[in-house]
Amino acid sequence: MATDSQDCRSMGAGTGQALVVARDAGMRRRRARSFEFVTFEARSGEVLALVGEERPPLRDLVYALAGLVMPTEGSLAVCGEERAQRGDARPRFARQRPARGTLGVSALTGVAAPSDVLTVEEAVAQEFSLWGRKTTASAEDVLGYLASFELATEVDRRIGELGPEGRARLSAALAFVCRPRVALVDLTDPFVAGLTAADGSALVRMLGRHARACACATIVATTDLAVARAADGACGIDLASAEALAPQEDDAR
């Protein structure tokens, strides 16, 4: 269902630079609509939650933000790069990807997710190496990085042994390794299945600290309204979610 700019709320000052801007963005898959008329801004130093009742539209929006597909309607720009593709009713794979280090993405099952046989430390060390963080590639620095995501006690555990909370923190940590201008964290992905509202909300508050520390625009996708309300701002991508967020907006006035 359609949403517009009034469906998004901001609890923060909103003074950071708008690094992700969507204006009536939409996508069709075959003859069915995925999401439509989605309008929001994600600003540096803040966490924006994108919330929807169902996972598939959120997944498509995450893929569009990640540069894996292009929306078919409206406008979607990430760090000034336009992603939307007009005049075609089918979403296509994007031909261009964001500049290296511009965008950090959490674990996406089937696209980019660490193997369950790796330890937490090994997974993050591999990501450090991938992004060329040679000056901070020592074990000590990797451990310090993991500690900042409250994973210090999990470093020797295999990913397959982690519970939903640990997997969610690891997923978020992977999104920040490249020191991105925009970090994208998908809490609807099967990699973090079973995450509770309390743990998801705590993670969003942690991400707020990281977003402010590195002036990063952080976007969290979730189907849980309680998790969305822990963010600096939230945007409902369907009518039901937008209406559920509206009373929060009224209370803030």
Q: What is the pLDDT of residues 142-172, one digit of tens each?
A: 999 999 999 999 999 999 999 999 999 999 9
Which residue type, as a one-letter code, is found at position 63? Y
Q: In the prediction, which pLDDT does 250 show?
A: 45
Residue 3: partners with Cβ closer than 8 Å, 6 or more residues away: 37, 38, 39, 235, 236, 237, 238, 239, 242
Which residue type, as a one-letter code, is found at position 120? V
Query: Residue 215: left if φ>0, alpha if ψ -120 to 50, beta else—which one?
Result: left
For the beta carbon of residue 112, count every other beta carbon within 10 angstroms.
14
Say if pTM beats, i.e. exceeds, 0.75.
yes
Output the six-digit token pair for 152: 């210090």
* Partner residues linked to 104 by β-bridges: 183
Rounded Cα distance, 37 and 27, in Å? 9
Which residue type, as a one-letter code, is found at position 8? C
Output the six-digit token pair for 89: 């009713």
Tens digits of residue pLDDT in 29-60: 776 778 999 999 999 999 999 999 999 999 99
pLDDT per residue, tens digit, the chain (253 aa), is 333 333 455 434 456 899 999 999 998 877 677 899 999 999 999 999 999 999 999 999 999 999 888 888 899 999 888 876 554 444 444 444 455 568 999 999 999 899 999 999 999 999 988 887 654 446 668 999 999 999 999 999 999 999 999 999 999 999 999 999 999 999 999 999 999 999 999 999 999 999 999 999 999 999 999 999 999 999 999 999 999 998 644 444 4
**Domain 5-252: assigned CATH number:** 3.40.50.300
Largest CA distance in the chain: 52
